[in-house]
Amino acid sequence: MENINIHKTTVINPSAKFSPGVTVGPYSVIDGEVTIGDNVRIGSHCVITGQTTIGKNCKVYTGAVVGSAPQDKKFSADDNVFLNIGENNVIREYVTINPGTAEGGGKTVIGNNNLIMAYSHVAHDCIIGNNCTLANNATLAGHVVLEDNTTIGGFGAIHQFVRLGRLCIVGGCSKVVQDVPPFSMCDGHPAKVFSVNSVGLKRAQFSEEKILALKKALKILCLSGLSKKTALERIARELDPCPEIEHLIFFAKTSERGLCG
C-alpha cells in the first residue's frame, strides 16, 4: 500500500482497493468490495461498505456511514447493488448514504463537487448531479433526482421519486412532495415555488435579461393558476426560446408527480 496512510486501528476487508494518497483515520471500517480513489481522506469512526466506489479527492468526515444496506423492506443481502460517488465530494459528519435496490435500477449515483453536510441522508436509488449542496440534516427519500447546482436547506425533506431541477433552492425545514422546477426557489409545508433563484442565477453568471425571462416563465408556470398545459403553451408563445427556457419546459412536461405550485 504505497503512499497510503491507514491508521493501525482501522479494520479492512481484503477485497477493498486503495489508490495512492488515501488516508484513513482511527477506528474506521473499510468493508466489502470498496474501491477508494486517489487522495481520498476518510476520518475516524467511519464505515465504508458494500460495492462502493469513491472518486479521487473526496473527504469523508467522522462517523459517516457510506454504502450500508438500503432501508427498503424488499432488499435482500444477495442483491447486486452499487453506490458510485464521483470526485471532489465533501461528506460531513454522520452522513448516511445507501446503495441502490434491485427494483430501482441497482445504483445510487453521486456526481462531482458536492457538499453533503452533517447528519444528511441519501437513500437508495438517488441520483445527485454536480455542485449540489445538502445542508445539515437534509433528507432524500428513495429514487430522488437532483440536477446540477441544486441547494437544499437544513432539515429539508424530499419525498421519494421527487426531482429537483437545475439551480433550484429549497428552503430550510421544507417538506417537498412534488417536483421543484429548475431555477426556482421553494419553501413551506408542503413546499411551494415563490420566486426565481435570482441569487443563484447571478452567481452562475446569468444575464439580467435571462433572469427576468425565467422569472416570468416561473410566474406563468407556478403562480398563474393556469393548467400546466396552458401555462407551457403561454411560455412558448410569449418568451423567446433559449436553452434554459427549453429545459424548464421539458422538465415540466416530464414531471410525473406534478410541480410545486
Mean pLDDT of all residues in 71-84 = 96
What is the Cα–Cα distance from 234 to 223, expressed in whole angstroms?
13
Active site residue 159: no
Active-site choice (124, 143, 159, 165): 124
Q: Is the peptide bond before 190 cis (omega within 30 degrees of 0)?
A: yes
Q: Which residues contact 243 (CB under 8 A, 6 or more apart)?
A: none
Q: Can you give the pLDDT at residue 261?
A: 77
Contact criterion met (CB below 8 Å) for 83 and 104:
no
What is the Cα–Cα distance from 137 to 140, expressed in whole angstroms?
10
What is the Cα–Cα distance from 163 to 132, expressed in whole angstroms?
13
Active-site choice (31, 55, 86, 125): 125
Active site residue 172: no
Active site residue 78: no
CATH topology for the 207-253 domain: Udp N-acetylglucosamine O-acyltransferase; Domain 2 (1.20.1180)
Q: Can you give the pLDDT at residue 44?
A: 98
The HSE-up count of residue 228 (CA atoms within 13 Å, CB side) is 16
- Is beta strand 35-36 parallel, antiparallel or unpaired with respect to 59-60? unpaired
Active-site choice (37, 63, 129, 142): 142
Quote the radius of gyration of the chain (alpha carbons, Å).
20
pLDDT, tens digit, 9 for 90 and up, residues 44-68? 999 999 999 999 999 999 999 999 9
Q: Can you give the pLDDT at residue 85?
A: 99
Residues of the chain with CATH 1.20.1180.10: 207-253
pLDDT-derived band at 170, boundaries 50, 70, 90? very high
Residues of the chain with CATH 2.160.10.10: 5-146
Contact criterion met (CB below 8 Å) for 140 and 114:
no
1 pLDDT exceeds 90? no
CATH number of the domain at 5-146, out of 1.10.287.3510, 2.102.10.10, 3.20.20.60, 2.160.10.10?
2.160.10.10
2 pLDDT exceeds 70? no
pLDDT-derived band at 121, boundaries 50, 70, 90? very high
pLDDT, tens digit, 9 for 90 and up, residues 176-220? 999 999 999 999 999 999 999 999 999 999 999 999 999 999 999
117 pLDDT exceeds 80? yes
